[in-house]
Amino acid sequence: MSEPEPKHLEAGENGRRAYHVRFGMIVAVGFAVLIACGVRTCLQNSMEPVDARFAPPPGGHVMYLPTPQDVVDRMLELAAVRQDDLVYDLGCGDGRVLVTAARTYGCRCRGYDIDPLRVRDSLENARRHGVADLVQVEQRDIFTLDLKDADVIFLYLLPELNVRLIPQLKQLRPGTRIVSHLFDMQGVSPDQVLQVDSAEDGSEHPVYLWTAPLRSTKQE
């Protein structure tokens, strides 16, 4: 018959068991807290805007989403921009289309945006790249503009806003080129649709080209 464990050994074993139980409880509580914090963060992130800078401004129609630079380059090529062109960008954002056109082709550019922050960013971008003498940017509602001076017009608007521009675009001089990133213009046939694979975001970007006078789909 085995002898009973000494009292001091039994007490030590019980202490170790209690320690392990307490440690396990602390770890479990810690994981629960981390999980709860993670869930709360996810919920907050799903409810809050990704970045307030991209939200539509008061009176604005669309949120600000910059076009990848490699797509901008292809849009300018599609429009066949020349040095003697006057380029418009309606909803110019940070001015990257205007600045790229001015730097690459040496043409005059005008940008319009209803958001004063975007106007500021565009002007700063032009100054930083040394083309401030070629780039003019104003805070304006694009639906109030007279576009007849433009040789090339760039758009990155929603489809319904492209359609809303049609009365102004019908006033353009013959030969004026209109290029839209991502969205078409319902009721108007494009001359060309280009699918641009952007290395910057790994996505395919449709780009539409129209030439004034606009051709209605009903004419085809």
Count: domains in the chain: 2
Range of the domain at 20: 1-48
Alpha helical stretches, state H, the chain: 7-47, 69-78, 96-105, 116-128, 159-164, 166-169
**Does residue 107 belong to any structural domain of this protein?**
yes
pLDDT at 192: 98
Check: CB of residue 116 under 8 Å from CB of residue 139. yes
Tell whether 118 and 200 lie within a shared domain: yes
- E strand or H helix at 153: strand 152-155
pTM of the model: 0.73
pLDDT at 75 > cutoff 90: yes
**Does residue 212 belong to any structural domain of this protein?**
yes
Tell whether 178 and 88 lie within a shared domain: yes
Tell whether 80 and 180 lie within a shared domain: yes
Tell whether 204 and 96 lie within a shared domain: yes
Q: Reading across the β-sheet that carries 192-197, which strands appear in turn?
A: 135-139, 108-113, 86-90, 152-155, 177-181, 204-211, 192-197
**Does residue 88 belong to any structural domain of this protein?**
yes
pLDDT tens-place string over residues 155-202: 999 999 999 999 999 999 999 999 999 999 999 999 999 999 999 999
Mean pLDDT confidence for 78-106 = 98
Tell whether 211 and 154 lie within a shared domain: yes
Q: Provide, rounded to the nearest whole percent, the portion of the chain with pLDDT above 90.
A: 69
**Does residue 32 belong to any structural domain of this protein?**
yes
CATH code of the domain containing 92 = 3.40.50.150
